Structure 1
């Protein structure tokens, strides 16, 4: 037995890009005349751009601050940082390669927008994914199940036979609600143990055979 597909989150799961987002958001806060709190930054992990910007404004005490200019500046700054090179999370590159060698379909399921994902794919390799579902291509982003349901539908496989690999509470909730088996590897945030979610500290040593065991685990 092997998974019908493996559905990978991107930020914090495959690459250490959450730190990039953190640096860019801190810079944006300074431009806005404030300082972004650690609690607000952590609350943004794994959420949509719209939710992150709402948290940003609330944290700075600027509820009426226009969103569009901030989104534009943040997107361009993150694009620059992504283009400078991205660091793989431990074991992530090896797992992705092993899944591809095993002939298992893959999807990238991320809250990040398409324009930035295209830059990230220069590191991740577009050939490594049969399907890419971005945060600005769904009606309801994570933690709603729509992103993972969409990925499985595009691959033409039952979501209940898929394994999703995630790092954040928002992403785990999305994959679990969709019906996938979930492997969680915390990065920026601690994860509370949840029934049906299998947790590891890193992806080091994870291979297709291990993912297959998740399909039969109780």
Structure 2
């Protein structure tokens, strides 16, 4: 029997909130940082920083605390944030529901996978010990492109690394910032909101969880287009 399904040429995975349940831990670290510089981590501020690159997230907290530009030490504060996040990950790092089976499904179909994350390389390399470094043909981090999500650079770079057009790839994302990056890059996405709603775009397909994901679900994204 001929399989007429059109599957993605590559699958591009977001990490935080999509594969690993790290958003609560990032939230805790961000709250501690905000409190330390005199800002209140309101739900609105936390939502605004979710899925951001380190520079973007720190900038929003600096602005909330009214820290003048001359008093913003991005390098030192990012180093401190990374150290704190790694402490938290060492004791409470968990998979998102269905994520491990979803990775196995795509690997079993021999579709190359790329990890595409706004998280800095130093943290990503630690996370890959849990995710399985060998699962991915490449990884792209937020500190390795001109600008992280929601800009399109990180997804364009991922497609370039696997040698396919962005429109032939499929992304998985959980946040408004990450999903916006896929749309800007022309990558269709399956969106599984983890903490806050993701406004609709014509290139998004929504799921509540990765549990029960099938190859037919991946093919349906391209059939619908």
Question: Which bracket does the TM-score occupy, shorter chain normalised?
Answer: over 0.9
Contact 1:92 1:203 in 2 (8 A): yes
| 2:171 alignment partner, SS class | strand
Distance 1:160 1:34, change over 3 A: closer
Choose from 53, 57, 62 the match for 1:52: 57
Residue 46 (structure 2) pairs with residue 41 (structure 1): yes
1:31-180 pair list within 5 angstroms = 31-63=36-68, 64-180=71-187
Deviation at 1:60, TM superposition (A): 2.0
The question of whether the paired residues in 1 share the 8 Å contact of 2:98 and 2:210 is answered with yes
TM-score normalised over the length of structure 2: 0.92
The 2-side partners of 1:114 and 1:84 are apart by: 20
* Runs of 4+ residues deviating >3 angstroms: none
- The answer for unaligned runs of 5 or more in structure 1 is none
Tell me, yes or no, if the aligned pair for 2:179 and 2:198 is still in contact at 8 Å.
no
| 2:27 equivalent in structure 1 | 22
SS at match of 1:7: strand
When the two structures are superposed, what TM-score results if normalisation uses the length of structure 1? Answer: 0.95
| Aligned residue in 1 for 2:12 | 7
Q: Distance in 1 between matches of 2:14 and 2:8?
A: 16
Secondary structure of 2:172's aligned partner: strand
d(CA) in 2 for partners of 1:17 and 1:171?
Answer: 15
Deviation at 1:101, TM superposition (A): 1.2
